[in-house]
């Protein structure tokens, strides 16, 4: 059987490199890695016999038209944020152009990366995402809406990562460090204050290695019919570990850093509003919606175990250990 040809966009990013490494180790697929700067490819050898680099901007895909027509699977991780015009060009326009250059007679499946922030608990699109999300949130919501009506919709699996960890805080991992892992040191500096507070909020998280396991499985097995009821033509999978509360996360960080938790002051809605007015904090409409929603949880969620794999970091403690965040004092339960 001819090995699959898998295109990975955003291949130099954290998730892109974890996914490429998983595929090189667990499959015989040929990988086309689309990236802008080969120097950022730190965990994958550009000289690997099953790797071909496509160096260029996602907004100019026609220069790779011949290669795109040969791929059987696509893992589209590339994205943009910050600049509204660039975000629209990359997150909406470039996706449509890319899909138009694929060969329907060869293509089997597309794994399209979005963000769990645009879905509600039941994996349905949030109207608020389009109404007043950031440029990143709005373009992701718009693209998902467009993909539902695309001719290739029945071959698309949209994956929605929750909070993504990966790499190490000191940068010693060959894999890029995710923004959340980069922020662990800074978050630890605020534990002296956070340990006095209690918040009615919860979230999911996932390690990039576990995202790679899920996406690798999707890219190397036959596409299955959508198992989730109430979805459209595009299959939706939210990737994350079981939800934890903000209070549990703070308690875990306190134990990890050797800090004793204290009696907590509940962060009531009125108190949050008062702090926003008093402190030099600028918030937009999406921030206000997020503060009111508080519980960013989804059902069902997809872990590596759901696709027959094993989680690399199933708990926050495992994430912290993997990140290399210095541990101070013993892990022990405190009030």
Q: Report the share of the chain in percent with pLDDT over 70.
A: 93
Query: Mapping DSSP to helix (H, G, I), strand (E, B) and coil, where does residue 11 land?
Result: coil
Note the pLDDT tens digit of each residue in 185-221: 999 998 988 898 888 899 999 999 999 999 999 999 9
Question: What is the pLDDT, as a whole number, of residue 18?
Answer: 98
Q: In this structure, are residues 91 and 143 in contact, taking their beta carbons and an 8 Å threshold? A: yes
Is the residue at 331 inside a domain? no
Across 129-150, average pLDDT: 94
Give the confidence band of 331 by pLDDT, cuts at 50, 70, 90. very low
- Give the max Cα distance, the chain: 65
Question: What is the pLDDT, as a whole number, of residue 116?
Answer: 96
Is the residue at 76 inside a domain? yes
Is the residue at 313 inside a domain? no
The DSSP line for 277-333 is: HHTT----HHHHHHHHH-EE--SS-B-GGGGT---S--SHHHHHHHHTPPP-S----
Question: What is the pLDDT, as a whole number, of residue 294?
Answer: 82
Is the residue at 321 inside a domain? no
Note the pLDDT tens digit of each residue in 243-278: 999 999 999 999 999 998 888 777 666 566 666 666
Residue 235 has pLDDT above 70, yes or no: yes
Across 299-310, average pLDDT: 96
Give the confidence band of 285 by pLDDT, cuts at 50, 70, 90. confident
Q: Which residue from 164, 175, 183 is spatially nearest to 12, judged by alpha carbons? A: 175
Question: What is the pLDDT, as a whole number, of residue 271?
Answer: 60
Question: What is the pLDDT, as a whole number, of residue 48?
Answer: 96
Whole-number Å distance between alpha carbons of 146 and 151: 10
Note the pLDDT tens digit of each residue in 59-81: 988 899 999 999 999 999 999 98
Query: Mapping DSSP to helix (H, G, I), strand (E, B) and coil, where does residue 290 land?
Result: helix
Residue 52 has pLDDT above 90, yes or no: yes
Is the residue at 149 inside a domain? yes
Could you tell me which residue, 289 or 31, shows the higher pLDDT? Answer: 31
Backbone angles phi, psi at 134, to 5 degrees: -65, 175
Residue 280 has pLDDT above 70, yes or no: no
Average pLDDT of the chain to the nearest whole number: 91
Give the confidence band of 230 by pLDDT, cuts at 50, 70, 90. confident
Is the residue at 247 inside a domain? no
Q: How many folded domains does the chain comprise?
A: 1
Sign of CA dihedral 236, 164, 13, 288: positive
Residue 2 has pLDDT above 90, yes or no: no
Residue 312 has pLDDT above 90, yes or no: yes
Is the residue at 293 inside a domain? no
Note the pLDDT tens digit of each residue in 81-111: 888 999 999 999 999 999 999 999 999 999 9
Alpha helices, H only, 156-312? 179-182, 184-189, 191-194, 208-220, 246-257, 269-278, 285-293
Domain containing 133 equals 5-164+205-239
Whole-number Å distance between alpha carbons of 166 and 173: 9
Whole-number Å distance between alpha carbons of 238 and 214: 11
CATH assignment of the domain containing 213: 3.40.50.720
Is the residue at 257 inside a domain? no
Residue 232 has pLDDT above 90, yes or no: no
Give the confidence band of 174 by pLDDT, cuts at 50, 70, 90. very high
Question: What is the pLDDT, as a whole number, of residue 6?
Answer: 98
Residue 307 has pLDDT above 90, yes or no: yes
């Amino acid at each position: 059987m001819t090995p699959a040809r898998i295109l990975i966009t955003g291949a130099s990013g954290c998730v892109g490199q974890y996914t490429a490494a998983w595929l090189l180790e667990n499959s015989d697929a040929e990988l086309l890695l689309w990236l802008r700067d080969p120097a950022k490819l730190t965990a994958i050898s550009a000289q690997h016999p099953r790797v071909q680099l496509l160096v260029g901007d996602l907004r100019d895909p026609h220069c790779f038209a011949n290669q795109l027509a040969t791929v059987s699977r696509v893992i589209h991780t590339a994205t943009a944020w910050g600049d509204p015009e660039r975000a629209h060009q990359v997150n909406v326009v470039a996706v449509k152009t890319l899909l138009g250059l694929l060969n329907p007679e060869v293509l089997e499946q597309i794994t399209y990366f979005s963000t769990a922030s645009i879905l509600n608990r039941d994996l349905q699109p949030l109207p608020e995402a389009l109404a007043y999300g950031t440029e990143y949130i709005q373009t992701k919501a718009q693209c998902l809406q467009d993909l539902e009506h695309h001719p290739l919709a029945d071959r698309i699996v949209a994956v929605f990562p929750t909070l993504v960890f990966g790499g190490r805080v000191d940068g010693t991992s060959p894999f890029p460090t995710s923004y959340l892992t980069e922020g662990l040191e800074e978050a630890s500096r605020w534990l002296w204050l956070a340990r006095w507070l209690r918040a009615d909020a919860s979230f999911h998280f996932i390690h990039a290695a576990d995202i790679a396991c899920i996406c690798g499985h999707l890219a190397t097995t036959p596409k299955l019919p959508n198992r989730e009821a109430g979805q459209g033509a595009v299959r939706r999978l939210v990737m994350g570990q079981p939800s934890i509360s903000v209070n549990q996360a703070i308690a875990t960080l306190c134990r990890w850093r050797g800090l004793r938790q204290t009696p907590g002051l509940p962060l009531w809605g009125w108190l949050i509003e008062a702090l926003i007015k008093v402190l030099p904090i600028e918030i937009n409409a999406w921030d206000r919606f997020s503060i009111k929603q508080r519980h960013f949880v989804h059902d069902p969620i997809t872990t590596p175990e759901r696709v027959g794999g094993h989680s690399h970091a199933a708990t926050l403690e495992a994430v912290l250990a993997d990140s290399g965040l210095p541990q101070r004092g013993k892990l022990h339960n405190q009030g």
